[in-house]
């Protein structure tokens, strides 16, 4: 082994990446070569000193970031992330009403129709978040859709068609709202970027990116 | 596993979960920023930028690579953007080492210590800091990722977008350049070895 080979092995030895045979060969060379022995000592010392030079982050880092995040959340009242439990309650109300025969929901085969004001329940939720409520009929439509399909439904209003959906296929509801079926990941992106309310058939909102599909209802 | 749960909650804009995630990862991020920027003030600003970007883009993390790989890559990109802007604004030379040729210029100037940095450093630590700041930025980064963070070659390759073979050779050259710079300042008790030339 020459000194150049030994130098390469020294580097890998510092990284714990030598085989036993390579390690033994390096030892043999170091025993015979005082120059390489000195190089090895120096490289070893440098690695140790570098590791010891690690710094503790200042408290200002964590404090500054969290302050900014909390201020950012306050600055976004238009974005209605409706609490999951409250949404579950709203969706349950739709289901309850459907089973009791009070309103017609697709799939429940009810005929004697009266209206139930799901919108007022949703309004209360929005009042808690400080966000401006969407159209009541649209809120009801979104809640019904979530209950019927078992999918999360995002309601987007006052934002136009999100850029991410401009070329996507959609159905048009009677109200003129556009209905898109998207991946959970896309739904999460839209929720993050646009003023949106989310309606869920269950209370597991944080898993939205993991859902295979979700609906986005865009008001005209 | 614990991270995965925190990441999902933080991606859903749960600030408390994000705070926990940040506390777990702020030390490596800060140290990478410190190595790349070369001073505490910029390291603080850059680390803050990294975590604010993380908060806003966490939904893009797909769990297909280790979270630390994704986070350190984000950190590296924020730092490189900063160094490029600094170069434009201050006409400072920013170079990376060239695999065909050793890096010849400094990446960023060795800054004057800030008041809060004027701590009595151990003499050797101060010499190391000065010598590190004189290395090309990718040498400083690779030494931080391998020697301090002790990441495997493969993960460093993913973070720096390099073949594993290049990671190994660049790391070896970074160690030697650091040693050479310290040799010049009589850092070691004995002289430099001819084997390292």
Q: How far is CA B5 from CA A151, B2, B19, B52, B75, in A?
A: 22, 6, 13, 19, 22
| Pair (A99, A34) in one structural domain | no
**Residue B18 and residue B55 in contact, taking contact as beta carbons nearer than 8 Å:** yes
pLDDT of residue A206: 54
Contact A208 B55 (CB under 8 A): no
pLDDT of residue A131: 54
pLDDT of residue B27: 97
On whether residue A209 sits in a domain, the answer given is yes
pLDDT in tens, B152-190: 999 999 999 999 999 999 999 999 999 999 887 777 764
The mean pLDDT of B124-135, rounded to a whole number, is 89
pLDDT of residue A142: 79
| Pair (A41, A101) in one structural domain | no
Last residue of a domain, one of A37, A52, A67: A52
Band the pLDDT of A178: cuts 50, 70, 90: confident
Write out the residue range of the structural domain in which residue A15 sits.
Answer: 3-52
Which helix (H) or strand (E) covers residue A172, if one does? strand A171-172
| Pair (A128, A19) in one structural domain | no
pLDDT of residue A196: 75
The mean pLDDT of A76-82, rounded to a whole number, is 47
pLDDT of residue B94: 60
| Pair (A91, A191) in one structural domain | yes
Q: Highest mean pLDDT: which of A26-35, A102-111, A210-219, B114-123?
A: A26-35
Query: What does the DSSP 8-state code read for residue A160?
Result: -
pLDDT of residue A37: 94
| Pair (A138, A185) in one structural domain | yes
pLDDT of residue A123: 53
Q: Highest mean pLDDT: which of A94-98, B66-70, B120-124?
A: B66-70
On whether residue A116 sits in a domain, the answer given is yes
> Of chain B residues 126-165, which have a CB less than 8 A from chain A?
128-129, 132, 143, 146-148, 153
**Residue B171 and residue B146 in contact, taking contact as beta carbons nearer than 8 Å:** yes
Contacts of A17 in chain B (CB under 8 A): 153
pLDDT in tens, B13-64: 889 999 999 999 999 999 999 999 999 999 999 999 999 999 988 988 888 8
pLDDT at A126 over 80: no
On whether residue A66 sits in a domain, the answer given is no
What percentage of chain A's residues is helix, strand, coil (to nearest 5)? 55, 10, 35
pLDDT at B106 over 50: no
Query: Is B21 in the A-facing interface, judged by CB distances under 8 Å?
Result: no
pLDDT of residue A1: 83
Band the pLDDT of A157: cuts 50, 70, 90: confident
pLDDT of residue A64: 95
More confident residue, B1 or B15: B15
pLDDT of residue B189: 64
Query: Is A176 in the B-facing interface, judged by CB distances under 8 Å?
Result: no
> How many domains does chain A divide into?
2
| Pair (A179, A128) in one structural domain | yes
| Pair (A37, A140) in one structural domain | no
Strand partners, A156: A196, A218
Contacts of A207 in chain B (CB under 8 A): 8
| Pair (A33, A115) in one structural domain | no
| Pair (A46, A89) in one structural domain | no
On whether residue A123 sits in a domain, the answer given is yes
| Pair (A145, A179) in one structural domain | yes
List the domains of chain B with CATH numbers.
2-189 (1.10.1740.10)
A69: which residues sit within 8 A by CB, 6+ positions away? B15, B18, B52, B55
Contacts of B185 in chain A (CB under 8 A): none
Minimum distance, in Å, between the CA of residue A128 and any CA atom of chain B:
17
| Pair (A214, A115) in one structural domain | yes
On whether residue A57 sits in a domain, the answer given is no
| Pair (A96, A43) in one structural domain | no
On whether residue A61 sits in a domain, the answer given is no
């Amino acid at each position: 082994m020459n000194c150049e080979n030994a130098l390469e092995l020294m580097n890998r030895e510092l990284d714990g990446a030598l085989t036993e045979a390579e390690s033994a060969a390096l030892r043999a060379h170091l025993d015979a070569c005082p120059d390489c022995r000195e190089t090895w000592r120096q490289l070893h010392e440098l690695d140790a000193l570098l590791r010891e030079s690690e710094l503790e982050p200042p408290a200002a880092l964590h404090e500054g970031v969290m302050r900014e995040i909390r201020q950012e959340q306050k600055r976004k009242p238009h974005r209605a992330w409706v609490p999951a439990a409250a949404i579950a309650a709203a969706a349950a109300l739709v289901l309850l009403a459907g089973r009791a025969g009070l309103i017609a929901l697709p799939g429940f085969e009810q005929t004697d129709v009266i209206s139930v004001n799901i919108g007022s329940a949703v309004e209360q939720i929005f009042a808690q978040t400080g966000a401006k409520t969407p159209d009541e009929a649209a809120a009801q439509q979104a809640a019904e859709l979530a209950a019927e399909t078992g999918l999360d439904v995002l309601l987007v209003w006052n934002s136009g068609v999100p850029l991410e959906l401009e070329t996507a296929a959609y159905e048009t509801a009677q109200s003129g709202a556009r209905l898109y079926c998207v991946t959970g990941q896309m739904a999460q992106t839209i929720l993050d970027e646009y003023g949106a309310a989310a309606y869920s058939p269950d209370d597991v909102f944080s898993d939205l990116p993991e859902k295979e599909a979700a609906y986005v209802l865009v008001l005209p | 596993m614990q991270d995965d749960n925190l990441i999902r909650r933080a991606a859903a804009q749960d600030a408390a979960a994000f705070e926990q995630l940040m506390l777990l990862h702020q030390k490596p991020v800060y140290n990478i920023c410190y190595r790349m920027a070369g001073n505490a003030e910029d390291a603080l600003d850059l680390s803050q930028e990294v975590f604010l970007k993380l908060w806003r883009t966490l939904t893009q993390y797909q769990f297909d690579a280790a979270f630390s790989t994704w986070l350190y890559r984000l950190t590296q990109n924020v730092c490189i953007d900063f160094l490029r802007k600094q170069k434009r604004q201050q006409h400072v030379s920013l170079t990376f080492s060239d695999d065909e040729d050793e890096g010849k210029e400094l990446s960023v100037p060795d800054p004057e210590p800030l008041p809060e940095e004027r701590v009595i450093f151990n003499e050797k630590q101060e010499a190391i800091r000065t010598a590190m700041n004189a290395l090309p930025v990718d040498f400083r980064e690779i030494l931080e990722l391998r020697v301090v963070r002790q990441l495997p070659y493969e993960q460093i390759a993913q973070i720096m977008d390099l073949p594993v073979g290049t990671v190994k050779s660049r790391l070896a050259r970074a160690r030697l350049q650091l040693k050479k710079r310290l040799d010049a300042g009589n850092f070691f008790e004995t002289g430099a070895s001819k084997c390292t030339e």
